Amino acid sequence: MGRTPGLPDAIGFAVPKDVENHPVREVDRARQRGMWFVALGVGVFVSGLLLLAWQHYEFTTIGYRMDELQKAAAVEEMDRRHLLLEQATLRSPQRIEAIAINELHMVAPTQTEAVVIERVRQAAQPAKTLVARR
| Structural domain includes residue 98 | yes
Contacts of 3 (CB under 8 A, 6+ apart): 9, 15
Q: Which amino acid is at 71?
A: K
For the chain, what is the domain count? 1
SS3 readout for 25-36: CCCCHHHHHHHH
| Structural domain includes residue 99 | yes
DSSP letter, residue 122: P
pTM: 0.48
What is the mean pLDDT of the segment spanning 115-132?
A: 76
| Structural domain includes residue 40 | no
| Structural domain includes residue 114 | no
d(CA 99, CA 92): 11
| Structural domain includes residue 20 | no
Nearest to 90 by CA among 75, 82, 109, 116: 82
What is the mean pLDDT of the segment spanning 115-122?
A: 84
> Using CB atoms within 10 A of its CB, is residue 127 exposed (0-12), middle (13-18) or buried (19+)?
exposed
| Structural domain includes residue 72 | yes
| Structural domain includes residue 67 | yes
Residues of the domain holding 96: 54-107
Per-residue pLDDT tens over the stretch 9-31: 556 666 677 777 777 788 889 99
Q: Number of helices and strands (H, E) in the chain?
A: 2, 0
**Whether pLDDT at 113 is above 70:** yes
